[in-house]
Amino acid sequence: MAAKQNLLLLGATGYIGSYILEQILKAKSSFGRIAIFTSANTATTKSEKLEELKKEGVEVIIGDAADEEALVKSFEGIDTVISAAGRPIIAQQITWINAALRAPSVKRFFPSEYGTDVEYDESSKNEVPHQQKLKVRAKLREQEKEGKGLEYTFVVTGPFAYGYLAAGTGRLGGFNVKEKKAVVLGDGKGRVSLTTDPDVGKLVVAALLHPEAAKNRALRVNSFTTTPLDIVAEFEKQTGGEKWEVEYVSFEKIRELEKKAYEESNPWAVVFTLRRIWGEGGTLYEKRDNWVIGKEEGLDSLSDAVAVEVAAQKGK
């Protein structure tokens, strides 16, 4: 029997990192050590959460994620490093990869993907939100060509369903339970691939448990595929059956707003870009890769995801 993997997660107390760690802990009998690397600030501001994790057997290592030497030391005895870096610190992953390459025990690295495919088509390389992730992919492929032996897996989930289904802001799209109003892009019939936030964690765990199948590749996975109008119909069903008001925003308009946002250095510019990519079909594939890692079943449906969002917006 193969030895159980020893895991270390960076960004474990962040948004998507919390979901990934939660699912890892649900499957902890399949793993050896489970450790997280976190900052001194997090150790102070989230001390109660860290104590809870320690009670569940999680090793908590406190340090500076920009300090390569500290990372190399923390990686001792670790087989697999999983990144859940948020957008502001995605660039730090180059340092994390360098540390992993110097740590003799580390064999696998999962960079922070968990979102829009940064290599969907030829245009992907020009999208602003993709640039840091493309550099991380290039770094991992470069070391592979050099024969350094650090395996990697890009877990590409498409948009996080809970964020996509949220009330939204103006022309960005969204589904407002209180007002029973939806803002959708295009004609609302374009298909979009979504993954619920807990399912991101489940899919990462599945990839961890299928190392050969997941080796040195992008896994394009999801919970379900739907359309904005099908989402509206599900919200209507779960909020009493009354028809919702639907506002349609053209892709021409969204591109105009996106361009203006970048010109004005508006932080929402990236969101415009991502919403436009999703609406134009930049998350769709003929066949998803769930089967590669044995995760075709046991994932959330559109109904499940909408139920969570309805409860959240009603404050339950």
Residues known to be catalytic: 133
Q: Residue 147, SS3?
A: coil
Token couple for 216: 């040195």
Token couple for 214: 């997941």
- Whose structure tokens read 């609406």? 279
133 CB burial (10 A radius; 0-12, 13-18, 19+): buried
Residue 112's identity, in one-letter code, is: S
Token couple for 14: 């962040």
Cβ–Cβ under 8 Å, residues 209 and 201: no
The span from the CA of 96 to the CA of 63, in Å, is 13
* Length of the chain (residues): 316
End-to-end Cα distance, the chain: 45
